[in-house]
Amino acid sequence: MIDARTPVEAKPPQMESLARLPVFLALQGKRAIVAGGSAAAAWKAELLSAAGAQVDVYAPQPGEELAALAARPPRGIVTIFPRGWEPPDFTGAVVAVGGCEDDAEAVRFAAAARRAGVPVNVIDKPAHCDFAFGAIVNRSPLVIGISTDGAAPVFGQAIRAKLEALIPRGFAQWAQAARQWRSEVQRSGLSFAGRRRFWQLFTGFAVTHPDRKPQPADYDRFLAETKDEGTAVESGSVTLVGAGPGDPELLTLRAVRALQSADVILIDDLVAPEVLDFARREAKKMLVGKTGYGPSCKQDEVNALMIGLAKAGRRVVRLKGGDPMIFGRAGEEIAACRAAKIPVEVVPGITAAQGAASRLKVSLTHRHDARRLQYVTGHGANGSLPSDVDWASLADPVATTVVYMPTKTLGQLVERAVLAGLDPSTPSLAIARATQADQQVLAARVADLPARLAATPLAGPVTVMIGQVFAAHAAAGAIGTAASLRTVAAETSR
């Protein structure tokens, strides 16, 4: 008898510690001061001016860069005072930046700024800084800041260079269009759900047409399309999303989009927590766990919760480990949605078998060893070994067999398959937490695998794979990470 459990809201994990809090200051029309006449001071003054600040620079000997900047500032006025700074200069400033030649000067400048209540940055002297300038990717009003807390500025610049290459410059004009259209969308009469749909259409088009200049006709089209969808925008929906075997980088783009547009996410226990980093932060997250032979939510309860939320107008994502269509009870949930006339969509995911094989670099259908790939379940609806398994197919010497939920019934399954003709020496693997950083693999002859697995239990979801394609790994006969077994198998196959 499997203990029942009820769906519970999943509390979001606490934010991990931050070396710096990324804050974007609104400086338009506000006063900033810069001390020093070096090229570095000129660069900081240029950044402040670009953000709209009125920059007062105090420099007994201003360099050419400062003179050129004052003559042609990017945005806010830059005024040069050809003298050293004085404490009264901090009055009315919102930020202060010092280009100080030595620590003694840095200490004096920082102390004066703090006495005046002004946040301070001393260039290249992080010990005296209240805030830091990071590397910047500028697609204003889309702005990305990158900080390594002063630990590795070159690394930050390298990341900036990668982002510069990834993010089209045309995004700047689309972000500007969003700024201009936002108030119009607010006045359009669309509901909250309708406005969100408008911005989804806007984003989808902008991402696929980054270099095309936004036109008023684009706004009209997005608005008309949103209104044409009518009640469909207000109605709820269900999307079954495959979370993959664990590594969040294996999520599909479509899965990420579903997670980022969800109102409620119903989560299986087998979903790796890191996957939820891609979810919309405001989405309500609920655990509706199903653990093999452990406390589980009843499927009828999960269906009722899913349907009830969708009928209330929520966009529901049913997040499942692996692929929802592979032993994920997707059929029952799809049927429940159809019976309730709730729109339902499926986003496939990477299966545990695919993920594990990729980490081990084993082809499940190697042309010399396999003619067929088959997935079977280790237990039926009652938790026991299914009675209707095609045992002859499991005994096929040129088949690769993947057994899901195998732990409790593996001994019986192997015994029946051997009686049906499966060679007891057939290579086999048990893989736990496939694709995750702590993935473990136990390799053995199939006849020995149940005893080996009982003697060395593997924590987490386990998948068993059987077939000649695993010969090198079975010969290694070891337990370890995927990487260590790849090495052992390579040496064994020489």
pLDDT, position 484: 46
Instruction: Judge whether residue 487 has pLDDT over 50.
Output: no
Q: Work out the mean pLDDT of the chain and round it to a whole number.
A: 88
pLDDT, position 458: 87
The active-site residue, picked from 44, 125, 285, 290, is 290
Please say if 220 is a catalytic residue.
Answer: no
Instruction: Decide: 361 and 484 in contact? Cβ < 8 Å.
Output: no
pLDDT, position 232: 67
Instruction: Judge whether residue 483 has pLDDT over 50.
Output: no
Picking from 18-22, 25-29, 171-175, which range would have the lowest pLDDT averaged per residue? 18-22
pLDDT, position 233: 67
Instruction: Judge whether residue 490 has pLDDT over 60.
Output: no
Q: What is the mean pLDDT of residues 408-431?
A: 93
Q: Which residue has the higher pLDDT, 360 or 474?
A: 360
Q: Is the pTM of this model over 0.85?
A: no
pLDDT, position 241: 96
Q: What is the mean pLDDT of residues 405-433?
A: 92
Please say if 290 is a catalytic residue.
Answer: yes
The active-site residue, picked from 56, 89, 263, 268, is 268
For 369-414, what is each residue's pLDDT tens digit?
Answer: 989 999 998 887 777 888 889 999 999 999 999 999 888 899 999 9
